[in-house]
Amino acid sequence: MQSQSKANQPIIAQLGHPVLRKKAELVDDILSDECQNLIEEMMLAVEKANGVGLAAPQIYQSLQLFIMCSKPSVRYPTAPTMRPTAIINPEIIEVSDELEKGWEGCLSVPSMRGLVPRHKRISVRYYDQNAQMHTRVFDDFIARIFQHELDHLNGLTFIDRLESPRDLVSESYWYEHIANKQ
């Protein structure tokens, strides 16, 4: 379960790498040292990258595991704060009928932003890093993160969810023309 790294920094898989297009495998032993070390490595990686989420395939591990860690940042100034959470073997149980388009970026698709429709509210089930099952309801930005990261576990990126190629912009254009108007 070791990720590829340079100078002790995880390398984030970039769009085009085959690991990002595979359906990830279930995690069998959440409490194993390997899994616990991977979770710790991912928590550090997402913090260093200033992301709000990171899926195991993004660090070359095709496993049903992602980290959610919403917080305000330059990339997401209005993001709510939540403590970093390992989400293992996740599933969406129910979704709201209401979809909402919102701007997303991705550590595996640098320098791009897309206007992506997502369910506004979702009911989910997952295991945490202590192998405890949780059933939760997430809405708005947290629901968006969950859906974005779950897509990575199913071999998808936010680009696959765009309704039109016109909904994709460079991040520099987004910062200059869109970010300040939200």
List the catalytic residue out of 104, 149, 163, 171: 149
Among residues of the chain, what percentage have pLDDT more than 90? Answer: 85
**What mean pLDDT is predicted for residues 139-153?**
98
- Known binding residues: 106, 148, 152
Whether residue 26 has pLDDT greater than 70: yes
Q: Where are the alpha helices (DSSP H) in the chain?
A: 33-48, 140-153, 171-173
Label residues 117-132 b or e (16+ Cβ within 10 Å = b).
ebbbbbbbebbebeee
Amino acid identity at 147: Q
Percent of the chain with pLDDT over 70: 94
Q: What is the mean pLDDT of residues 82-93?
A: 97
Q: Residue 182, Cβ neighbours under 10 Å: how many?
A: 9
Q: Give the pLDDT confidence score for residue 76 in this predicted structure.
A: 85
- pTM for this prediction: 0.92
What does R_g of the chain's alpha carbons equal in angstroms?
Answer: 16
Measured from the Cβ of residue 169, the count of other Cβ atoms closer than 10 Å reads 17
pLDDT digits (tens, 9 = 90+) for 91-127: 999 999 999 999 999 999 999 999 999 999 999 999 9
- The band of 6, judged by pLDDT with boundaries at 50, 70 and 90, is very low
Instruction: Give the class (CATH, top level) of 18-178.
Output: alpha beta
- Give the residue-averaged pLDDT of 5-29: 84
Residue 25 is a catalytic residue: no
Model pLDDT for residues 44-84, shown as the tens digit of each residue: 999 999 899 999 999 999 999 999 999 988 888 889 999 99
Indicate the residue type of 54. L
Concatenate the DSSP letters of all residues of 112-126 into one string: EEEEEEEESEEEEEE
Which residues lie closer than 8 Å to 175 by C-beta, 6 or more apart? none
Q: Which two three-digit tokens encode residue 149?
A: 């990261």
Quick one: average pLDDT of 149-166? Answer: 98
Structure tokens at 62: 């095709």
Annotated binding site for Fe cation: 106, 148, 152
Among 52, 50, 89, CA closest to 67: 52
pLDDT number for residue 182: 63
Name the more confident of 110 and 10. 110
Residue type, 115: L
Q: What is the mean pLDDT of the chain?
A: 93
Judge whether 152 and 20 are in contact, CB under 8 Å. Answer: yes
